Amino acid sequence: MDETIINYIKNELIVSSEAIDIDAEDDLLGSGLVDSLGMMKLVSFIEKEFELKIPAQDMVIENFMTVACISDYLKAKVS
For residue 52, being part of any structural domain is answered with yes
20 part of a folded domain: no
Q: CA 27, CA 66: separation in Å to the nearest integer?
A: 5
Confidence class for position 79, pLDDT limits 50, 70, 90:
confident
| Proportion of the chain above pLDDT 90, given as a percent | 80
3-state secondary structure of 79: coil
For the full predicted model, state whether its pTM sits above 0.95.
no
Is 2 in contact with 68 (CB distance < 8 Å)? yes
In a domain, 69, yes or no: yes
pLDDT tens, residue by residue, 49-72: 999 999 999 999 999 999 999 999
Total domains in the chain come to: 1
Torsion region of 26: left, alpha or beta (phi above 0 gives left; psi -120 to 50 gives alpha): beta
Residue 73: how many CA atoms within 13 Å on its side-chain side?
23
Assigned domain for 60 exists? yes
Give the model's pLDDT for residue 75: 95
57, amino acid identity: Q
